[in-house]
Amino acid sequence: MHCFTCEKTPCECLEYGAVAQDTIEKWFDCSTAKLHGYVVKIRSENHVKNNKIRFSMYCMFTYEKYGCLGKGNQMKIPDCMESKIKELFPELDGSYTNFEPGNDIDD
């Protein structure tokens, strides 16, 4: 399917994002994401905030498309995938951290 956002055929969201979405849905009950701002881990029933899930999905998408990039080697995901992730796991106050090239994330 052609995407008018990323202008790819097939759309990168469908091509690479499906694996990330399937993985998240396998491990988490996502029914609370839009209303409460968190998902529930199926085995432990722990709550995980949407921002953590979004970050995980960004990482999984990037891994599926590019492989392991390593620390400091970041790629911006396509707008269609970013929109889809935000739609599935919104920040309830509408405030998002945007991609900033060159910034490392330290745990």
13-52 pLDDT tens trace: 888 888 889 999 999 999 999 999 999 999 999 999 999 9
With contact defined as beta carbons under 8 Å apart, do 99 and 76 qualify?
yes
pLDDT at 107 over 50: no
Q: Round to the nearest angstrom and report the end-to-end CA distance of the chain.
A: 37
What's the pLDDT tens digit per position in 45-89?
999 999 999 999 998 998 988 888 877 777 888 888 898 999 999
Q: Which residues of 68-92 are buried (b: 16+ CB within 10 A; e: fewer)?
A: eeeeeebeebbebbbebbeebbbee
**CA gap 97, 82 in Å, rounded:** 12
| 80 in Cβ contact with 13 (< 8 Å) | yes
| Predicted local confidence at residue 106, as pLDDT | 43
Q: Where are the beta strands (DSSP E) in 1-107?
A: 28-29, 38-41, 47-49
What distance in Å separates the CA atoms of residue 33 and residue 91, rounded to the nearest whole number?
A: 9
CA 4 to each of CA 7, 83, 85, 89: distance values in angstroms, whole numbers, following the listed order: 5, 13, 17, 22
| Position 100 confidence tier, pLDDT thresholds 50, 70, 90 | low
